[in-house]
Amino acid sequence: MTIHTVAVIGSGIMGAGIAEVAASHGHPVLVYDINADAISRAIDGIRTRLESRVTRGKLSAEACEQTLQRLVPVTDIQALARADLVIEAASEQMAVKKALFAQLAEICPAKTLLTSNTSSISITAIAADLSHPERVAGLHFFNPAPVMKLVEVVNGLATSEEVVEQLSALAVKWGKQPVRCQSTPGFIVNRVARPYYAEAWRALEEQVAAPETIDAALREGAGFPMGPLELTDMIGQDVNFAVTCSVFNAFWQERRFLPSLVQQELVLAGRFGKKSGQGVYNWRSDRPAASWLETVSDADSAISVQRRSDGVTEIDGLLLIETQGETAQALANRYGQPVVVCDRQEGDVAVIAVAASNPASANRKAVWHLQQQGKRVLQVADYPGLLIWRTVAMIVNEALDALQKGVASEQDIDTAMRLGVNYPRGPLAWGEQLGWQRLLRLLENLQRHYGEERYRPSSLLRQRALLESSYES
């Protein structure tokens, strides 16, 4: 069928953004909300954004006016009967969505496509009790919808292949990049991204470093566009915590998705982040800067530095070792020498942890050596896997689990994570680059250290590590 008229249910940030996208691509758009004032505010917001583009020379005044004329305020749900496509962007509650879709199934002709912008609720469950469930799918945009390229096209058990293909083609016409995935908790992005937040919360709970140091390590040391803690403040602690709880419960309390008690405290206190003025950070004042180590200028210039064949750097008897998931103290005990462990180094950042038994003079030599290579150095507590390696390993592990269980293709998983949350690389391409055996060893060491299922390597990671070993031999 040809999709002409589009209806958007909900006039919040996402609903307004989706309505703007559809209207700007020539569709009459029915903007439905039970609150007429909310619709007016949404359309006023769209007008402001479009006029800003006109001012900057990005849009003609004529195109701006035509887009605004296509937006039709609707407060009577019966009016949605004339829509060819309905996109629901209402409250993220199963009961609300099921009630809305039950109404839509009665009001709209069987040919009307019924979709939800949900970020984590089951499309299968939404469609379960409806007539013609084959026309129900997920159409998950990312905020801000007019800017973000990614759209997750989600099929439930009953969704027809034709519907998925048509929605994917429509997304392309709207200038978006669709990725296809099965209806599973969190879909692609909100599932695979959970470790990015979870490992940061765990580091904060274990007092590994201050929030600004954790964020700087992941942002400046690994190339993520924002640190995980500042990102949760931007998203909203209430929103991010609710999604984590939803995914955790949907996976029958799988420990990989365990919510954080520290984040729960922020939510209970009403510290939702930037929108409330206080979250992990105080957004009413300047945020603190990460504590970079001062330049070591008085180290002995005759320091002996030797790069060994096993990749370890020996500095006057101290071993500088890139982390494989063990603490510096465990390694110092094994080797009988001072040890400093280093996180994965990208760019000019080095994150280190030192064994408690090290003499201070040995630690200074390690810092001096790194600074001589042009590195800015962050020191954190002696934490297995440190921050970058540990976080990336968990993201890759989750992506492999999703791939093995048929959630989406390898290409779509990588595309989703690059475009949906702006990761520097797709996690599966990243895993290939870092080495499957290295990732497996790190996760096994973390699992051994904690004695928890949380760090259990996926079956597919083990298989890829075996193949990698076979190729090398």
Rounded Cα distance, 9 and 16, in Å: 9
How do 136-141 and 113-116 pair as beta strands?
parallel
Q: How far apart are CA 333 and CA 9, in angstroms?
A: 61
Residues designated as active site: 119, 140, 152, 190
**Residues ≥6 apart with Cβ < 8 Å to 275:** 236
SS3 339: strand
* CB-CB contact of 288 with 306 (8 Å): no
Contact between 31 and 72 under an 8 Å Cβ cutoff? The reply is: yes
Q: Which of 327, 472, 454, 338 is nearest to 401 (CA)?
A: 454
Helices (H), 92-181: 94-107, 123-127, 161-173
Distance, CA of 274 to CA of 431 (rounded, Å): 33
Closest to 248 in 3D by CA, of 404, 120, 117, 405: 120
CB distance 56 to 64 below 8 Å: no
Q: What single letter denotes the amino acid at residue 23?
A: A
Total Cβ atoms within 10 A of residue 310: 6
Give the list of residues 6+ apart from residue 93 with CB closer than 8 angstroms, or none: none
> In whole angstroms, what is the distance from residue 398 CA to residue 423 CA?
14
Q: What is the CA radius of gyration of the chain?
A: 25
Nearest residue to 337 (alpha-carbon basis) of 306, 322, 316 = 316
Half-sphere exposure of 42 (CA within 13 A, CB side): 28
Residues 6+ apart with CB under 8 A from 186: 119, 120, 192, 194, 243, 246, 247, 250
Tokens, residue 103: 């109404």
CA distance 63 to 439: 51
